[in-house]
Amino acid sequence: MVKLHSFRERIDNSSKYKNSQIVLSLDPSPRSDLIGFVRAIITLLEKYICAIKINFHLILPLSISQITGINNLIHSFELQSIADIKLNDIISTNEIAIGYLLKMGFDAVIVNPLIGKNALQFAVDQAHEQNAGIIALIYMSHPGAKEGFGINVIKKAKINNNKVTTMYKVFLDYAYTSQVDGIVVGATQIDILKEISSQKKTPIYSPGFGTQGGDIKQAAKTGTDYFIIGSSIIGSKDPLNVVKEIRSQTCRI
């Protein structure tokens, strides 16, 4: 498979190559054989996924060299690797964090647009300079998400034309303006997912399946491009059969 330039191209190519839109959320509970488990589950499932999302479950307990080794394994199977830290700090701190994550081999970083339009743009520019991607967090999947992403805010205009809008819509505007490589919208937010997918300006990544109640088939019909799924697969007694079944519900062909 030819290595393409941008993250957005690479994950699309990985998805077509694997005939899968599943992003495996590799967030295992603490365990003594953590690295062995991670390497085994990647090797077991690699044919049925297009990317792996790694959260603090691995980033905190493992060293830089260990995470780099995991990303090397991910890439050896023609998969993409996403760092899910929902980055949310000042520009200079974000710059350092993204720099370390890209050196560890991540292909993309999930960023919280709460940092503001300028900071998000800086993150996108930094990532794109290194052929990496930025995915913007627009609306989370858990019930409490509405307390932040769903609140009403006043959007100020230059000439006394202020209007009330919703926080996620502000974040979406930042994401589109900054030309991010994807957005995260929880599968439990079906009305919002439908609204955003009708615009189809960038790929949509949806978590929230399994215990949170998101419906895979409904999300697929509503506009989800990539399905972020973790515990339903890696926490099952038979991860291989579970991922095969999920892929049959989501694959493009």
In the 3-class helix/strand/coil scheme, how is 46-85 assigned residue by residue?
HHHCCEEEECHHHHCCCCHHHHHHHHHHHHHCCCEEEEEE
On whether the 7-143+180-250 domain is CATH 3.20.20.70, my answer is yes
**Residues 27, 231: Cα–Cα separation, whole Å:** 8
**Residues 250, 252: Cα–Cα separation, whole Å:** 7
Amino acid identity, residue 17? Y
Cβ–Cβ under 8 Å, residues 104 and 71: yes
Beta bridge partners of 134: 109
Which DSSP letter does residue 30 get?
A: P
Which DSSP letter does residue 145 get?
A: G
Q: What is the pLDDT of residue 143?
A: 85
Q: Report the candidate in 3, 87, 78, 72 with the shortest Cα–Cα distance to residue 35.
A: 72
Q: What is the pLDDT of residue 2?
A: 45
Which pTM does this prediction carry? 0.93
Amino acid identity, residue 112? N
Q: What is the pLDDT of residue 212?
A: 77
Q: Report the candidate in 127, 101, 102, 103 with the shortest Cα–Cα distance to residue 181.
A: 127
Q: What is the pLDDT of residue 202?
A: 95
Burial of 101 (0-12, 13-18, 19+ CB in 10 A): buried
Per-residue pLDDT of the chain (253 residues; tens, 9 = 90+): 444 589 999 999 999 999 999 999 999 999 999 999 999 999 999 999 999 999 999 999 999 999 999 999 999 999 999 999 999 999 999 999 999 999 999 999 999 999 999 999 999 999 999 999 999 999 999 988 888 998 988 877 766 677 888 999 999 999 999 999 999 999 998 999 999 988 878 999 999 897 777 889 899 899 999 999 999 999 999 999 999 999 988 865 4
160: tokens are 């006394």
For residue 215, the SS3 value is coil
128's enclosing H/E stretch is helix 117-129
189: tokens are 């937010």
Q: Report the candidate in 134, 49, 130 with the shortest Cα–Cα distance to residue 86.
A: 134
In this structure, what are the phi and psi dihedrals at residue 54, rounded to the nearest 5 degrees?
-115, 130
Beta bridge partners of 130: none
